[in-house]
Structure 1
Amino acid sequence: MGKKCVKPLAMVVMLACSATVFASERPDHYQGQTAESLEQALANLTTYNAKLKTVLEKSELSLQDMAHIHELTYSLENALQRVDVELDSLAATLEEVHLSSEKAHGEQVKTQGEKYLKHAETLLQSGR
């Protein structure tokens, strides 16, 4: 039993290790639709959410549906990353308004406040 069991066991271990290496070196499959601006990100979210919803409304999902969903998620992730960056920027601008108002820096409050409102309105309009 000694030598006959060792070879198959060694083969299983080698295959498991090579499968792990191949799985960790998985290439990115798709780039997805880019989102260079907040407006583009919001448009992409609307478009790709609608596509995802259409696929998910099926009673059963095929392997082709899974592949399509997988592809859609790249564009959705890109859009969400852009929204995240834009929200961070919006929060930083609001903080500038806050700090400037504490110091009674009227011109800075006005400039940054208008910048904040313009940016915030873009986000709020998408929710309508």
Structure 2
Amino acid sequence: MIKSLSLPAFSALSLLLAANLQAETRPDHYQGEPAETLEQAVANFSEYNAKLAELLAGELTPAALNEVHQLTYTLENALAKINEETATLAQTLEEVHIASESNQPQVVKDRGQAYLAVSRTLIP
């Protein structure tokens, strides 16, 4: 049967089989620390980046690789929340921008304060 497969079809089948094998041999997955608020996400991002840096500075033994694997889940959760919040933050800043162009001082003040409240969570 393999003789009758074209090279692209054979390649695709090989990749599919390799992906299935890799999925079967991957270690158990972890939940990671939650990032329900931007504050929590930023705190976890900072703490777990420091942990990752420490692990990367040492020998990447199987135990260290397992630690990296585990902590990436917390970093992924943190980044997802940060990305969600910064997308909203970009919209808020755009409201400030447009209000400043159209001479709406109260909107600039209100939306500008909302923008700063969130942005200061990222960088005080």
Provide TM-score, normalisation by structure 2.
0.76
Deviation at 1:17, TM superposition (A): 6.7
After the TM superposition, which residues 63-78 of structure 1 pair with which residues of structure 2 at under 5 Å, given as runs?
Answer: 63-78=62-77
1:47–1:92: structure 2 CA closer, same or farther, 3 Å change rule?
A: same
Match of 1:53 in 2: 53
Could you tell me which runs of 5 or more consecutive residues in structure 1 were left unpaired when the two chains were aligned. Answer: 1-15
C-alpha separation between the residues in 2 aligned to 1:98 and 1:27? 48
Distance 1:18 1:42, change over 3 A: same
Larger radius of gyration: 1
Find the counterpart in structure 1 of residue 42 from structure 2: 42
SS of the counterpart of 2:66?
helix
Q: Please give the alpha-carbon distance, in whole angstroms, between the structure 2 residues aligned to 1:87 and 1:20.
A: 34
- What is the alpha-carbon distance in structure 2 between the residues aligned to residue 93 and residue 17 of structure 1? 44
Task: In structure 2, list runs of 5 or more residues that go unmatched.
Answer: 1-14
**What residue is the counterpart of 1:10 in the other structure?**
none
Q: 1:113 & 1:124 partners in 2: Cα distance?
A: 16
Q: Which residue of 2 aligns with 1:94?
A: 93
Could you tell me how far apart the structure 2 residues matched to 1:28 and 1:108 are?
Answer: 50
What is the CA RMSD across the aligned residues, in angstroms? 2.6
Q: How much does 1:48 deviate? A: 0.9
| Structure 1 letter corresponding to 2:74 | S
Report percent identity of matched pairs: 48
Counterparts of residues 12-27 of structure 1 (less than 5 Å): 20-24=19-23
Query: Which letter maps to 2:49?
Result: N
Distance 1:20 1:45, change over 3 A: closer
Distance 1:39 1:81 in 2: 13
SS in 2 for 1:29: coil
Shift of 1:33: 0.8
Kindly state the Cα deviation for residue 51 of structure 1 after the two structures are TM-superposed.
Answer: 1.5
1:18/1:38 Cα in 2 relative to 1: closer, same or farther (>3 Å)? same
Q: Which amino acid aligns with 2:60?
A: L
**So what's the TM-score if we normalise by structure 1?**
0.73
